Amino acid sequence: MPDLNTFKLEGTKLVPINRFNLEPAKPSTAFTAVTMNKANDFKVIEHPIIHSIDIKPILVFPIVENYFPLIEDDKAITENDFFKDYFKNEITLLFPQVNIEPNNGILFYYENVPDKLGNKGGLRGKVTLKYSIKEKPLQVNQKSIVLNLKEAVLNLKVNLEYIKINGVVNTQTKEIQFDLIDEAVKIAFLNLVSNLNDLKCNMDLFFDFKGYSKIKRNFLFARDMLVLKSQLTKDDLVLPKKTFPTKATLINNPLMVKSNFGVKEAPKAVISEIQLENSIKSNVQEEYVKSTFLLKINKTLSYPIGQDAATSLYKTISGGFVNIPFNLNEDFSQFKQIFVAGYNFSKLSIYKSMVQPNTFLLIAKTYSLSKDLNTMKPCISTIFHAYEEGAGTEEEISKISFQFAIGPNLSDFDLAKLKIALLQNNFLDGDTTDYFDKIQFLFPNDIAAEYDISGNYFLQQSDISTDGKHFLFNLSTENLSEASIMINALNNTITQYANINFRHKEIKDSSIIELNIEQTIGEILEALIDNTAKKIQISNQSISNCKLNSVLLVYNQNATYLNSVFFKTYPELISNDTKLLDFSVLNPSVSNELKNVFFDFENIENISSEFNQIVSQSTAYNRYVQVQIKAQNATISKITIELTVLETGSKFMIERLKSEFSTPILFNFIVKNTSVGNTMISYKVNYFDKNDNLTGSVNEVFDFSKSAKITINKKP
């Protein structure tokens, strides 16, 4: 049974919900430049990642009663909204009042920073604020919703653009600090003292709170095609879990509603039949789930400079000031490209922010298929749309959809090493104490960079959305031959390449997309540090083996230690394997408290090897055929196979090098669901020597209704 959060029924169509469990997405962007006359509405209702998490109240004495709002409308949540409590309908829940004021009498602070020659080198500054959450006057049956500040963003205005600065939030002291450098110091000051509404800066506060919302449940009868024979039966739906593959074979395989189209029935009648067969109550279509929601509150910041320096909110190292010390320079670059020793431009482009300290924009040169954080499987799926309104029964399949997520090929280990390199190459600003925590990495999506896809016709047709640093592709096609080519490439781990080009003001950069399910990215190791026992517990959360290469240890005061020798003879971690590592084994010379640990690893996947075990699970429209190449003469170094499905005219080309002859090829193709059709495949085999000279060709015909295996014999 597929994940209930993956598919839903719209009318009579089984369609995917575009949601992958990736790294958390920011509720805001940093340094985004947009025109002021454009709508800048905040549309997030449920956070795209932390949706449906369990809400487990912490029991304390005395026990504090918790209230959770029931969110029923699909509209943006505002601070003036009110809701009914999920458990007690008679209780009305309201948001408390949020107030902002300068922090301890200091709103704005700056200093002139000299360069290494003692000359004027630039500006460093900060805006400091304090927030408070106070209950509004409440009636007997009214309660306040508990808010937790997650992020604050300062929106500076210059000309007709915004510059967004991410803040550092301390929820214990209720303090917010925005660090500024150079031109951003000037811009912030003039925004804060301006009398013009169009030049006053403002701040976005993003609070999260717990609540309940509805999800649809009317898609419970979607089935995995891998366990289907010729039709969907009730017995199929209770197959034990062990009959499913133990690894992510293809893309969790295409899904369908039903494959027995022998009787002409209206789509709605067929759906009703499936519901009846599987005891699915059509009147129970939804349930409530616990969720985390976001509330955005915007506050305008405007504080006149005043006349008394002693009480001024604007200060330097010498105390308060009441004059205007800056001239605004509107022609400045937000990012400047830097080159860090050891980081080749072919792998990573690095841009340093010119408006916020220790902030770097990273453009990875390779974007790859990402893993789901929970299942560790590749974030990719295909769906066969089995029903369409008004469609006949002879050609029920009319569209195939692909969904997948890609992200920058930079691991947590890579980013940790980059922080050390930035320190060693003197690219950090100010005090470098706790620099590991001060450095902030941005990605193209964080600055709302424009992008386009080129170099791959299939991927260029996708609808693309962004989530955090990931791109979500959603592609539907009615060309079944095109779809078969894509499925075969995924089946046989043939990489699909494309270019992704980024543009943002003065920045123009590009990366390569590598779409291959055996080359997925994402963290798969869970590491738990026990400083008392001086041990690290590691566990492989992936479905594949994991080979450890090295470890980077980070101690208090950001002392670091890299060990790549220990793992040279260390065995691979199999799926769900757990091991304990002693501190002294990894670093015998240090006994300080360990703060963090990062592993460099390889995910050892061998998905294509499972195709040996796959028996063709064909339906009236979807066929799997295995192609096996027999041992060849030593002179043969390459074989190409040209296949033509005579029913549809679809043509496919398969190429295998000598080292790949023993690996079977899983060949998938789609035919129209007709009662009478041509079941023949013609194929031509070309044999090449080591110099790519054609040494022979063979033409054959194969009947896929009688067998599911094509054997390529030894060159005659």
Q: Are strands 314-316 and 108-114 parallel, antiparallel or unpaired?
A: parallel
Q: What is the pLDDT of residue 6?
A: 44
Taking the mean position of all CA atoms in its chain, how far away is CA 430? 33
Question: Please, are residues 500 and 453 in contact by the beta-carbon 8 Å criterion?
Answer: yes
CA 567, CA 403: separation in Å to the nearest integer? Answer: 37
Single-letter code of the amino acid located at 304: P
Q: Which residue has the tokens 């349930």?
A: 287
**pLDDT tens per residue, range 297-323:** 999 999 999 888 899 999 999 899 988
Q: What is the pLDDT of residue 300?
A: 94
pLDDT(655) > 70: yes
**pLDDT tens per residue, range 567-620:** 988 999 988 889 999 999 999 888 788 999 999 998 876 554 444 333 334 556
CA 472, CA 18: separation in Å to the nearest integer? Answer: 8
Q: What percent of the chain has pLDDT over 90?
A: 28
Backbone phi and psi for residue 587, each to the nearest 5 degrees, phi listed first: -150, 90
Q: What is the pLDDT of residue 670?
A: 73
Maximum average pLDDT range among 8-12, 90-94, 259-263 = 90-94
8-state DSSP, 127: E
**pLDDT tens per residue, range 209-257:** 888 877 543 333 333 333 333 333 334 333 333 333 333 333 334 333 3
CA 267, CA 121: separation in Å to the nearest integer? Answer: 72
Q: Which residue has the tokens 């030894």?
A: 714
Residue among 362, 420, 364, 705 nearest 559 (CA): 420
Q: What percent of the chain has pLDDT over 70?
A: 73
Q: What Å distances lie between residue 3 and 21, 253, 381, 456, 680, CA to CA?
A: 12, 13, 11, 30, 36
679 — pLDDT class (breaks 50, 70, 90) = confident
Q: What is the pLDDT of residue 636?
A: 92
Question: Please, are residues 569 and 560 in contact by the beta-carbon 8 Å criterion?
Answer: no
CA 485, CA 79: separation in Å to the nearest integer? Answer: 50
What average pLDDT does range 512-536 have in this prediction?
87
Q: What is the pLDDT of residue 651?
A: 81
The CA dihedral of 596, 600, 604, 607, to the nearest 10 degrees, is 80
Q: What is the pLDDT of residue 372?
A: 77
Q: In terms of C-beta density within 10 A (0-12 exposed, 13-18 middle, 19 or more buried), how is residue 491 classed?
A: buried
Q: What Å distances lie between residue 678 and 128, 572, 647, 671, CA to CA?
A: 75, 49, 5, 10
Q: What is the pTM of this model?
A: 0.62
What average pLDDT does range 42-63 have in this prediction?
39
Residue among 245, 228, 246 nearest 237 (CA): 228
183 — pLDDT class (breaks 50, 70, 90) = confident
Q: Is the dihedral of CA 212, 214, 217, 223 positive or negative?
A: negative
Question: Who has greater pLDDT, 18 or 184?
Answer: 184
Map residue 487 onto helix, strand or coil: helix
The CB density around residue 180, as the number of other CB atoms within 10 Å, is 26
Mean pLDDT of the chain: 76
Least confident of 196-200, 327-331, 447-451: 327-331
Residue among 593, 470, 445 nearest 521 (CA): 470
